[in-house]
Structure formats: structure tokens, C-alpha cells
Amino acid sequence: MQRWRSIIGWRPWRSRQRREDDLDRELRSHLELEAEEQQAAGLPAGDASHAARRAFGNTALVKDEVRQMWEWTTLEQVVRDVRYALRGARRSPGFATVAILSLALGTGATTAVFSVLNAVVLRPLPVAEPERLVVIEPKLKGAGFALFNPLFEELRRSQQSLVARPDARFGCKRC
């Protein structure tokens, strides 16, 4: 239930500062307790404080480790990055426009190339027996030429070795 309250009432601009204040208070209390222990061991007050800081370690590093464990750190970083990107786009709209168009063009080209490769190379041919398909490449004295429909129809009528079957899936009646 506490988690839902924290999700519903999450305001990063208010809770972040409160968490930072709590973290500072907690680190100070740990340092004070360590200094008291050092004084109880017989060190003078100034030396006990210095020894406590040495025993505790780097407080900035401890703060960073604690911040990484907080629940919303990743989301806060994403929000911060988006806000920074929007500020940069507002400062130089020409560059932002060129960058966005470049990304859109690259994404579109990649999608088009993948669609073609997927249809041609990755997926099997949408015919019943693809191993029986043949390619007709007409050549006239060594040079290739286009196979137009009347020539194709004549080849279909005159051929003896190939079987033409209608494929019901594609509605081909004359194949």
C-alpha cells in the first residue's frame, strides 16, 4: 500500500530535495556517532572528528551509492535528459530539425530495406512447391531482353516440359 501512495503522490521536484535533506542528516548522525565512539576510545574532540571521517570513508561516494538505490532514480534521469534535450532543441531549432529529419529518414530507410529483405530472403515463397519454380530469361544472340506479356503467353502455350497449375490461394485462374 505504501508503494502505491508513493507512486500516486510522486513529485520529483519536492521529494528529491526532501530525500537529499534526509540523507545529509543521516550521514551527519553516523559521523557524529563515530566521532563519539572515537572520543570514548580516548581521542581528543578534533582528532575524533577527523578519525570518524577517515573511518566512515568518502561521503560523496556513499551519497552516490544511496542515490542509485532510490526507486525513481532512472525515471528522474530520463525526465532530466528529455528536459535537457528539449531545451537544446529550443536553443537551436535548425539543428534539431535536421537531426530529427535525419533520424526519421534513417529509420524509414532501414524499415524499407528490412521489409524487402524479409519478403524476399527471410520468408519462404508463397507458393505450394517453390523448388519447382523456374526463371525464364530470354536471350537473343547473347543479349537479354524484356519478356513482355504477349511473348510470355506464347511461351506458355508452346512449352511442353513445364506444368502450369492454378494456385487457389492467390486467385490465379489462368496459370
Tens digit of pLDDT for each residue in 3-43?
555 555 555 555 778 888 888 999 999 889 988 888 888 88
CA distance 59 to 45: 20
Residue 122: phi and psi, rounded to 5, are -80, -40
Structure pTM?
A: 0.38
Domain boundaries, the chain: 2-80
CA distance 115 to 104: 16
**Which triple of cell numbers denotes residue 75?**
525515471
C-alpha 150: how far from chain center: 52
Residue ranges in the chain modelled with pLDDT below 70: 1-14, 71, 142, 144-145, 147, 163-175
